[in-house]
Amino acid sequence: GNMAEDAVLGYLQSHDEIDDSGQFADSKGIDHSDLLNVIKSLHGFRLVDAK
C-alpha cells in the first residue's frame, strides 16, 4: 500500500479508531486528502468510522 495506508493500518493495530484525521495526517507527515481516501476505502471494511 501507500504511505498513508501503511500509517493507518499500523495505527489501527493498537488503536480502535482515528479520532482526528487532520491531526493524524500532520503527525505522520502525510497528505490529508490521501489519508481521507484511505479512510474511505477502509470504511468499507468497517475498520474506521469516518467522522
Task: Yes or no: say if 13 and 7 are a contact pair by the CB < 8 Å rule.
Answer: no
What was the pLDDT predicted at 7?
Answer: 94
Mean pLDDT of 25-36: 95
What's the pTM value of the predicted model, to 2 decimals? 0.72
d(CA 34, CA 26): 12
Is residue 51's pLDDT more than 60? no
